[in-house]
Amino acid sequence: MTIVLLRIGSRGSRLALAQAEVAAGRLRGPGIEIALVPITTVGDRDRTKPFGQIGERGVFVKELEEALLGGRIDLAVHSAKDMTSSDTDGLSVGAYLPRDDPRDALCGAERLWPGMRVGTASARRRAQLLAAEPDLSVEPLRGNIDTRLRKRGERRLDAIVLAACGLDRLGLASEIGRRFEPEELLPEAGQGALALQVREGEEELVAREDDAETRRRVEAERACIFSIGGGCLAPAAAYHDGDALTALVADEDGRWVERRRGRDPRQVAEELLAAVAAA
């Protein structure tokens, strides 16, 4: 029997490797062997600057994409929320695995209250948290999940906000005090989904694992963020619940939030940009 070796590129964090192993488990089969290839990204190397200073989206995928284009790996596993809103030339998402919980999670508390100290490095989360409770103290917090959970105690933060799916995948759901509904805290585009990225023309490597419903929703979210991105520097988010797409643009300090809902990603984006321009 001919043996095919698939080299799967992944970030080296515990969560990233666990996610890569999920993909590997689906792709293994008779005649197929898997090798996981850990790759360090710029987002992993610089753990002090806020995401906005190093480029919030794409900082965890660039080096993986370069390895894929250079032939050093055969596919890359990404958290879809980390990807830019458009595909890189020469690459495509060959499959989206079935989406896990897309919600954000409050760890360390079950609710928000005035004066509460909350840790997050996400401008999107910061804006929405402050819109919900203006008297919060939102403090920057970087690092992988284990590091941020540890820093919560070291810095005596009342709570931190993380993606629920990552905690679930690492068996840390007990850390969650509250899962925010999308109406409360709109998720990042693609949050909860794993994307298997390949070189253009090699989609057959992973195509059988593609979940059509996850693709439909995540691609709509990415398209909306792409349309917003060219005309707005404010924090933005998009989430498709299966029926329609909800997107928002917000002031970074939560002083205003514009939300729109619809079925056409571009129209939703245009309505948001028009509302921001008129404000």
Catalytic residues: 82
List Cβ neighbours of 84 (8 Å cut-off, separation of 6 or more). Answer: 57, 58, 61
For residues 21 and 35, the answer to whether their CB atoms sit within 8 Å is: no
The DSSP annotation for the chain comes to ---EEEEEEE-SSHHHHHHHHHHHHHH-BTTEEEEEEE---HHHH--SS-HHHH-TTTTTTHHHHHHHHTTS-SEEEEEGGGS-SSPPTTEEEEEEPPP----EEEES-SS--TT-EEE---HHHHHHHHHH-TT-EEE---S-HHHHHHHHHHTT-SEEEEEHHHHHHTT-GGGEEEEPPTTTSPPPTTTT-EEEEEETT-GGGTGGG--HHHHHHHHHHHHHHHHHHTT--S-EEEEE-SS-EEEEEE-TTSS-EEEEEES-HHHHHHHHHHHHHH-
For residue 107, give the nearest of 154, 193, 174 by alpha carbon. Answer: 174
Other residues' Cβ atoms within 10 Å of the Cβ of residue 208: 11
Q: Kind of pairing, strands 194-199 and 257-262?
A: unpaired
